[in-house]
Amino acid sequence: MTGEPVNVNEFRELARQALPKMYYDFYTGGAEDQCTLKENEEAFRRIIIQPRILRNVRCIDLSTTVLGYNISMPVMIAPTSLQKLANPEGEIATARAASACNTIMVLSTSSTYSLEEVAACCDAIRFFQLYVYKRRDISAKLVQRAENNGYKAIVLTVDSPRLGRREADVKNKLVVPLLKNLEGLLPTKFVSDEKGSGLAALASGTLDASFCWEDITWLKSITNLPILIKGVLTREDAIKALEVGVDGMIVSNHGGRQLDYSPATISVLEEVVDAVGGKVPVLVDGGIRRGTDIFKALALGAQAVLVGRAVVYGLAAKGEKGVNRVLEMLKEELELTMALSGCCSVKEISRSHVRTKHDQQLRSML
């Protein structure tokens, strides 16, 4: 590819050129047939934007708040593991870009820099993503460390009692690098065997498959931080999450990397938003590659979106500057979409600005 990238997909091509095949496959791959992975993007394409004309859009305000924290745009950085595979500065570069763009970074438990190192590198607003391990004391120590180092919320991943079958990682026999957050707590390097990847070996040996709704009470008892759960895809689970007292939800299918043929996140976002009824913020990730995607998610009720792969593509291609450019690119695209749709602020983006496949079916029945 010649010239500077002008969209996220072009950053993906630069990442492909920069990374060894094993690492590129790790970041881009999904579970099994990768149906959910593909559908995450395709589902956005079936949503039509309905613009309003002759509005004064001279000044566009993209700012918003999440859990009371002011950010420059409704775009956050999703927890993405093993970022040193993309660039030697890994999560440090990503955190600095988040700070420069005045948005929130969610740091993965499976980061290749420790949560302390990331906290010390800049003043970005940071949340900490948590897995619950068979040894609960390890998870408790991680939560305590996050709280002590200025992280503002815990993002509990709830869709991974086991790791999804990521066949590219199996074929490549992915080797997991040092996981700094687990140093001294667990064996931090698992080597793949003939049956699969090192990441799968790590997950099967450590994650607590018995963790359930009742255990949210335990997590709330060990921290004063707000807790968001990441992995909600149904109305029923959204209602249950409210009952156990979470502070927010992320509609997520783990980027299509867990259960294949689970729904695209944008296709169930409105169901979850309706069930929550404004009681807690609802965020969404999965398949977001354009400012128009962000606009559609906001119109369907998301308070903000999270982007993961797009950030990694920027990181692999151009390090911190690449992450910064990806975030600015999405911000610029969203601003343009808002202007062309007649919206001066994110608060003005409403359900009437989009038409879904379901809306079209209802109209055809009238």
| 179-197 pLDDT per residue, tens | 889 888 876 555 444 456 6
Q: Does residue 3 sit within a domain?
A: no
Q: Which residues of 116-146 are buried (b: 16+ CB within 10 A; e: fewer)?
A: ebbbebeebbbbbbbbbbeeeebbbbbbebb
Q: Would you say the pTM of this structure is higher than 0.75?
A: yes
Q: Does residue 1 sit within a domain?
A: no
The CATH number for 334's domain is 3.20.20.70
Contact 66, 76 (CB under 8 A): yes
Per DSSP bridges, beta strands 64-66 and 69-71 are antiparallel
Q: Identify the bridge partners of residue 133 per DSSP, sorted by sequence position.
A: 207
Number of domains making up the chain: 1
Q: Does residue 285 sit within a domain?
A: yes
pLDDT in tens, 206-240: 888 999 999 999 999 999 999 999 999 999 999 99
pLDDT of residue 206: 82
Give the residue numbers spanning the domain of 326: 8-365
The distance from CA 292 to its chain's CA centroid, rounded to whole angstroms, is 17
What's the pLDDT band for 163 if we cut at 50, 70, 90? confident
Residue 140 has pLDDT above 90, yes or no: yes
Q: SS3 for 228?
A: strand
Token code pair at residue 46:
């079936």
Q: Does residue 2 sit within a domain?
A: no
pLDDT in tens, 13-31: 999 999 999 999 999 999 9
Report which secondary-structure segment, H or E, holds 168: helix 167-172
Closest C-alpha to 331, from 80, 126, 63 = 63
Q: Does residue 358 sit within a domain?
A: yes
pLDDT in tens, 324-341: 999 999 999 999 999 999
pLDDT in tens, 245-268: 999 999 999 999 999 999 999 999
pLDDT of residue 359: 77
pLDDT of residue 91: 98
pLDDT of residue 191: 46
d(C-alpha 217, C-alpha 244), whole Å: 7
Indicate which residues carry an active-site annotation. Answer: 254
Q: SS3 for 251?
A: strand
Q: Does residue 193 sit within a domain?
A: yes
Q: Does residue 121 sit within a domain?
A: yes
Q: Does residue 59 sit within a domain?
A: yes
The mean of the pLDDT values for the chain is: 93
Closest C-alpha to 160, from 79, 44, 240 = 79
